[in-house]
Structure 1
Amino acid sequence: MSILDSLVIGAGQAGLSTSYHLMRLGVRHVVLDADDEPGGAWRHRWDALTMRDVHGVAELPGDTPPPRDDQRANQAVPAYFAAYERAHALPVVRPVRVDRVDDEDGILVVRAGDREWRTRTLVNATGTWTHPFLPHYPGMETFLGEQLHTVDYPGPAHFVGRRVLVVGGGASAVQFLGALAPLTETLWVTRREPVWRTDDFTPEAGAAAVALVEQRVARGLPPQSVVSVTGLMLRPQEREAERLGAYAARRPMFERIEPDGVRWADGSFERVDVILWATGFRPAIGHLAPLHLRSAAGGIQLDRGGRGTTSVADPRVQLVGYGPSASTIGANRAGRSAAKGVQRVLMAKPAESTTAR
């Protein structure tokens, strides 16, 4: 069996950016994508999300992003990714869902069902969308209404005429309230008091927020999202929900869930028909467990004080879309950094000529 120079797991923004830069460096590789069509996590976003609603899609290297208009994001971005793959002849193989990565005599073996690839280096670009985080609260299994996570959000029309409890203190919760409050009755709960930004989100503020995430990654701690340290801001499309009091009525977390609502420690109760868990995601890195990359602190420590993409535990492995690069802009920059990291490893250990499978 031939041995690849590199292999990328994931064909979202970070994976495509990495593949582009690997191609420019002349590194022979393949990209394995779990989906049957291009688009990554964007394919699974709700129909009501338009390009005007999203925070923005940074352009892939050497290209321009879709316009900020009323196109459905789950159509516009996948079409953009598909065209990019074709234009740059990126070596994407799909559908391939990776089960595990093993180290056999210094070669990384990537396994997916009965298929396997052998490679000298690896770039993990699996993101977080496939690993939604759902906390457990007493009584949640007794709730007779509907419970959904962000990953299953069907769009605002689904909730009309129902009392919706939105759980979570991040940007997604703010967006859901912005879409739902003008249409139906909402209630908002968070674990912590929300922190709102009152100043403009300048490049300097963005750099400071990323630095906080880098500090966690540098210490080997599980990463937090960049958004979690920037504070919350309301966009124009959320001002109507603000006028209706959707954000001012925020309450702390309840103590337990009952069949028809939620109850707080002080005995107060709110009836709700739907619980929408906007509680975030975790990195999809379970397939890397055999490589023992996690630090004692629970995260994967990256080089250059958390600013790089190279695993400290195993420099053959690069992580993009992880920690400080878990944003569209960060993913592009990480793709370039990861490709250079791959090149450094290959140059340090010259290998025989390899051929991609």
Structure 2
Amino acid sequence: MTTTSTEVVVIGGGQAGLAAGYYLRRAGRDFVILDDQLTPGGSWQHYWPSLHLFSPAEYARLPGWPMPTWPNGFPPAPHVVDYLSAYEKKYTLPVQRPVRVAAVHRTSSGYRVDTDTGSWNATAVINATGTWSRPFWPSYPGMHEYRGTQLHASNYRTPAPFNGQCVGIVGGGNSAAQILAEVSTVADTVWFTTRPPKFLPDDVDGRVLFEVASERARALATGGGDTGGVAGLGDIVMVPPVKQARDRGVLHAQPMFTTLTADGVRGGDTTDKLDAIIWCTGFRPALRHLQPLHLRSDSAAGIALDHNHVHGEPSLVFLGYGDWTGPGSATIIGVGRTARDAVTDLVRDVLD
């Protein structure tokens, strides 16, 4: 296989990778974006069809070019995929796909990125792999004895397979609330959470959430008190389907079960017979390809970072993983700001 050289390898061609590419192109740098997907759109092309953004299109934009408006409420996932695809073409970003990155190694001049199509030598690496490929499954007694259907939210598509069944929904976040809202239209549902879910006020959407997260970051950066950010407001955005579920009286959670049985779950003195369980239990950063670097861990957030780069290693940047890499950096509008700052620092401290 061939070995090619460039200044920067961006790993991941979703919204974070594209935002990084925009600022690298604007800075006149030589770079490549390696994406393991068959087509543009990042993880948005894999979400369930009914998923919508939390904000109007004009508040969900990558740097340089706004998302086209959506006439009926908040845009659905396919609209986001179309936008990301068009964005990539508009700025002629050098995305290569499908390319799977197997490992990243340090070299005397930077890094060697090994892939299934060859290797790249680079001065710097921007890691923007997201979390979608690493769904998190918690471990509970009896998971292997349960005879019903179990699937993670990453594999959920429509409520049709659960018609007429009794379905357990596990998780206290937005995915759980939205999937419950949809499944409950065709099935009986039981919602399990480790703590009571916190609902945002009806008039709070993604615009407000991003501003709250940004205000927290500004306060912390200037030595002010911690406002709590978005967590201080609540967890679940009251998008229309969730409001409708509340109006139907199905948006009630019960404490998390402790054990799965052959035909359901048990917690304390309570048992529930369930035909299926949907685990809406989140994701973890996809970082396996970085194992050869032996990066130092921080018990609170994983790999220890200074702003967006690895502690003591400004040439290795992380982008788009949520508060770990910047306020709102896992959102379309938020990743643009963190990408701008990360690329500015990279150019100043490493590339120039």
Which range, TM-score by smaller chain? 0.7 to 0.9
Tell whether 2:45 aligns with 1:43. yes
Which of 161, 165, 170 is residue 158 of structure 1 equivalent to? 161
Q: CA deviation at 1:291?
A: 2.0
SS in 1 for 2:144: helix
Partner amino acid, structure 1, of 2:172: G
Aligned to 1:269: 271
More strand by share: 2
Partner amino acid, structure 2, of 1:140: M
Q: CA 1:152–1:66 in structure 2 vs 1: closer, same or farther (change >3 Å)?
A: farther
Q: Is the 8 A contact 2:130 2:320 kept in 1?
A: yes
Tell whether 2:126 aligns with 1:123. yes
Write the mapping of 1:205-354 to structure 2, written as runs, cut at 5 A. Answer: 206-209=210-213, 230-231=233-234, 232-248=236-252, 250-266=253-269, 268-297=270-299, 299-303=302-306, 308-324=307-323, 325-347=329-351
Q: Is the 8 A contact 2:50 2:77 kept in 1?
A: no
> How many residues are treated as equivalent by the alignment?
330
Q: CA 1:215–1:150 in structure 2 vs 1: closer, same or farther (change >3 Å)?
A: farther
Q: CA deviation at 1:276?
A: 0.5
Tell whether 2:31 aligns with 1:29. yes
Aligned to 2:86: 83
Which of 77, 100, 103 is residue 100 of structure 1 equivalent to? 103
CA distance in 2, matches of 1:106, 1:39: 32
Higher mean C-alpha displacement, 127-136 vs 339-348: 339-348
Aligned to 2:190: 187
Aligned to 1:4: 6
Tell whether 2:110 aligns with 1:111. no
Flag structure 2 segments of 5+ consecutive residues without an equivalent: 221-228, 324-328
Partner amino acid, structure 1, of 2:350: L
Partner amino acid, structure 2, of 1:341: D
Partner amino acid, structure 2, of 1:337: D
CA distance in 1, matches of 2:246, 2:135: 27
CA distance in 2, matches of 1:347, 1:140: 50
CA distance in 1, matches of 2:65, 2:75: 20
CA distance in 2, matches of 1:211, 1:279: 28
CA distance in 2, matches of 1:240, 1:316: 48
Q: How high is the TM-score relative to the length of structure 1?
A: 0.84
Any idea what the Cα deviations from partners look like across 1:210-254, whole Å, max 9, x if unmatched? Answer: 6779999xxxxxxxxx86664123223222311232223x11110
CA distance in 2, matches of 1:114, 1:236: 45
Aligned to 1:68: 70
Q: CA deviation at 1:201?
A: 3.5
Q: Is the 8 A contact 1:5 1:346 kept in 2?
A: no
Partner amino acid, structure 2, of 1:284: A
Q: Is the 8 A contact 2:212 2:230 kept in 1?
A: no
Any idea what the Cα deviations from partners look like across 1:75-125, whole Å, max 9, x if unmatched? Answer: 332222222222111100111111111102242011113611010011111
Q: Is the 8 A contact 1:45 1:73 kept in 2?
A: no
Identical aligned residues as a percent: 39
What is the root-mean-square deviation in Å for CA atoms of aligned residues?
A: 2.6
Q: CA deviation at 1:328?
A: 1.6
Flag structure 1 segments of 5+ consecutive residues without an equivalent: 217-225, 349-357
Q: How high is the TM-score relative to the length of structure 2?
A: 0.85
CA distance in 2, matches of 1:269, 1:195: 25
Q: Is the 8 A contact 1:48 1:72 kept in 2?
A: no
Partner amino acid, structure 1, of 2:277: I
SS in 2 for 1:293: coil
Q: Is the 8 A contact 1:147 1:275 kept in 2?
A: yes
Q: CA 1:227–1:42 in structure 2 vs 1: closer, same or farther (change >3 Å)?
A: farther
CA distance in 1, matches of 2:169, 2:189: 7
Q: CA deviation at 1:74?
A: 4.6
Q: CA 1:73–1:27 in structure 2 vs 1: closer, same or farther (change >3 Å)?
A: same
Partner amino acid, structure 2, of 1:235: V
Higher mean C-alpha displacement, 158-167 vs 197-206: 197-206
